[in-house]
Structure 1
């Protein structure tokens, strides 16, 4: 998903939240028919499922990002141990000089 898709997804969730809040308000004040209650519960399930999927995707993305960062640091550490110039290490790995010097 790109940033635009994520923003659209969040907007969709926000719109659903507004609708669900309104349905809850209606239910609390007047009560819902059996059909409306079923629709509300189905919509609530979809909403919760989407939130769970989004959180899972965030966790996966975070884990993948950390793994890539650790691999990049390990490569830079090995390059430094092999005597490669810090400028070249920075160019290849994208790390800054301070990080390379701390390795």
Structure 2
């Protein structure tokens, strides 16, 4: 769904005065809803009348800050909510000089580049580890398969020699199998 959120620092005369109004589009002729994936939300800031100490939810805190941003000389709720510290930093960034802003933007670029580099290294490490693990697993499986194949081959030969009437001592010497293994054949 696509939402358009509009903050109005005024009241529309033709609308009921309420803080939040959700609007959906409909066809003018048929009055059928145009789409359930497109909505508009209007926030009428003058309808919000709470004071700082009355704000309980994050939504109320955001609306308070937006409504009073021009008159605030400190950010409210700062001690209780880190989200407002982030908002205060954004406001501080907007007041940087051109040179300070360029330095800030460069530091952000370096930070983001390092995150991308670390993520790439982590993915590469995982891929290399997976490849190494698969190679070791395949080598171990191959070795076990060869050993099992050789053991099976010795049992087949021992069975053939036993059917030919060869003694257990001779079969044991040729195949390396124990008397109990030869007896089971």
The TM-score, its normalising length taken from structure 1, stands at 0.63
Correspondence for 2:179: 97
Greater CA drift, 71-80 or 52-61 = 52-61
Paired residues for 1:54-73 under 5 Å? 54-73=136-155
Equivalent residue for 1:39, pick from 121, 125, 130? 121
**Runs of 4+, deviation exceeding 4 Å:** none
Q: Which has the higher contact order (CA 8 A, sep 6+)?
A: 1
Deviations 1:65-87 (A, max 9, x none): 22211111010011111111101
The TM-score, its normalising length taken from structure 2, stands at 0.37
Distance across 2 between alignment mates of 1:58 and 1:68? 15
Q: CA RMSD in A?
A: 1.7
Cα shift at 1:100: 0.8
**Pair member with larger Rg:** 2
Total equivalences in the alignment: 73
Equivalent residue for 1:84, pick from 149, 166, 172? 166
| Higher share in helix | 1
Which structure 1 segments of 5+ residues have no match?
1-30
Cα shift at 1:57: 1.6
